[in-house]
């Protein structure tokens, strides 16, 4: 069964500082990997996705993520955080087949200090 681990429950960074959110996955085949962001009381918005090809993927809002097969990781990064980036971030892994679905991690809450 596929699974995702986000080891950091809560991270606080200063505005303008760099950010890295960790994600480790477990999946038997080539994974499809996603990062979603959720503002309080809202649904989830896709930041970026990895299916194949270049292991460094660019997303919206200046985010990027790097797929490292050897480490089973898909960490999310941003070089300079803005106060509006404060939210909950979820990593997810997708499978293929008839019942294709996303399995989410428990999330990392990002707080940005001014």
The answer to the question of residue 95 lying near another protein (CB under 8 A) is yes
Taking the complex as a whole, the smallest distance from the CB of residue 80 to another protein amounts, in Å, to 26
**Residue among 70 and 98 whose Cβ is closer to another protein:** 98
Widest distance between CA atoms in the chain: 47
| Residue 98 CA: distances (Å) to CA of 52, 56, 94 | 20, 28, 12
d(CA 84, CA 56): 24
15 burial class (0-12, 13-18, 19+ CB within 10 angstroms)?
middle
Residue in 17, 46, 56, 60 binding another protein, rule: CB under 8 A: 46
The answer to the question of residue 100 lying near another protein (CB under 8 A) is yes
**Residue among 10 and 80 whose Cβ is closer to another protein:** 10
The answer to the question of residue 26 lying near another protein (CB under 8 A) is no
Stretch that binds another protein, among 16-24, 38-46, 54-62, 66-74 (CB under 8 A): 38-46
Other Cβ atoms within 10 Å of 54 Cβ, number: 9
**HSE value, Cβ hemisphere, 13 Å, CA-based, for 25:** 29
The answer to the question of residue 98 lying near another protein (CB under 8 A) is yes
Which residues of the chain form contacts with another protein (CB under 8 A)? 4, 32, 34, 36, 41-46, 49, 90, 92, 94-107
């Amino acid at each position: 069964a596929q699974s995702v681990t986000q080891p950091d429950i809560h991270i606080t960074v200063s505005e303008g500082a760099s950010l890295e959110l960790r994600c480790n996955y477990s999946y038997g085949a080539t994974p499809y990997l996603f990062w979603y962001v959720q503002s309080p009381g809202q649904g989830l918005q896709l930041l970026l996705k990895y299916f194949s090809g270049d292991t460094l993927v660019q997303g919206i809002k200046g985010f990027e993520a790097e797929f490292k097969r050897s480490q089973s990781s898909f960490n999310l990064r941003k070089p300079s955080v803005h106060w509006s980036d404060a939210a909950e971030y979820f990593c997810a892994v997708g499978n293929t087949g008839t019942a294709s679905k996303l399995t989410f991690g428990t999330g990392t809450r990002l707080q940005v200090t001014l």
